[in-house]
Amino acid sequence: MSRAFVKESDGDQPGDELPERPQSPHPNYVTASGLKALQEQHAKLQDEKRHLTESGEPEMLDKEHLKLVERDLRYFKERIERAVLIDPASQPADKVGFGALVECVDDNDEKHKFRIVGEDEADPKQNRISWVSPLAKTLNGAAVGDTVTWKRPTGDLGLEILSIKYPKE
């Protein structure tokens, strides 16, 4: 008889495991606020796990949701363990580096501000770009008055650096 017609038992089956969330191959450089956000997310997940497991009724336990929470806990625990806190004061004030708030003007006379942050902190909508992004790599090491070329899929764009600041979180 073909195995296609044999009912498998209910419950956890081989292959039911969730794949782990992939970790970046890069060092996990973080700002102080980035590290705090990772720690807060980890604490939130610990609370969620506690809430799920303390319901008292094993049949009421949402096992799938618990698996997701446990996987995310492992991910954030590793992100925190691998975190390398970068002090803005350790960066050269006259060059673009990790943690810098960079103001520049492009070839079209449009001004832009970018903050170079850790991968977990990146949010392009808030002009927070990852230190491993092509734009951050283009800006890295530039000084006020320098013009760099941002290579974009829509075409290259020149950026003149107007100011560099290292905010104190």
Closest CA to 115 of 94, 133, 137, 130: 130
Rounded-to-integer distance, Cα 116 and Cα 128, Å = 6
| 154 and 130 assigned to the same domain | yes
According to the model, what pLDDT value does residue 145 have?
Answer: 97
| 81 and 97 assigned to the same domain | no
Rounded-to-integer distance, Cα 29 and Cα 157, Å = 27
Last residue of a domain, one of 46, 62, 85: 85
Please give the average per-residue pLDDT across 42-60, as a whole number.
82
On whether the CB atoms of residues 101 and 168 are closer than 8 A, the answer is: no
Instruction: Kindly state whether residue 144 falls inside one of the protein's structural domains.
Output: yes
Last residue of a domain, one of 45, 63, 85: 85
According to the model, what pLDDT value does residue 17 have?
Answer: 76
Domain count for the chain, please give it.
Answer: 2
List beta partners, residue 103.
113, 163
Give the CATH number, domain containing residue 159. 3.10.50.30
| 105 and 151 assigned to the same domain | yes
| 96 and 159 assigned to the same domain | yes
Rounded-to-integer distance, Cα 16 and Cα 60, Å = 19
| 121 and 151 assigned to the same domain | yes
| 80 and 99 assigned to the same domain | no
Last residue of a domain, one of 35, 66, 85: 85
Mean pLDDT of the chain: 88
| 75 and 94 assigned to the same domain | no
Percent of the chain whose pLDDT exceeds 70: 86
Greater confidence (66 vs 58) lies with 66
Q: Which amino acid is at 89?
A: A
Instruction: Kindly state whether residue 4 falls inside one of the protein's structural domains.
Output: no
According to the model, what pLDDT value does residue 5 have?
Answer: 52
Instruction: Kindly state whether residue 11 falls inside one of the protein's structural domains.
Output: no
| 157 and 97 assigned to the same domain | yes
According to the model, what pLDDT value does residue 52 have?
Answer: 83
How, if at all, do strands 157-165 and 147-150 pair?
antiparallel
Q: Which structural domain range is residue 37 located in?
A: 27-85
Instruction: Kindly state whether residue 5 falls inside one of the protein's structural domains.
Output: no
Residue 4 confidence (pLDDT) above 60 = no
SS in 3 state form for the chain? CCHHHCCCCCCCCCCCCCCCCCCCCCCEEECHHHHHHHHHHHHHHHHHHHHHHCCCCHHHCCHHHHHHHHHHHHHHHHHHHCEEECCHHHCCCCCCCCCCEEEEEECCCCEEEEEEECCCCCEHHHCEEECCCHHHHHHCCCCCCCEEEECCCCCCEEEEEEEEECCCC
Instruction: Kindly state whether residue 112 falls inside one of the protein's structural domains.
Output: yes
Percent of the chain whose pLDDT exceeds 90: 72
Angle at 92 between CA 108 and CA 140, to 5 degrees: 40
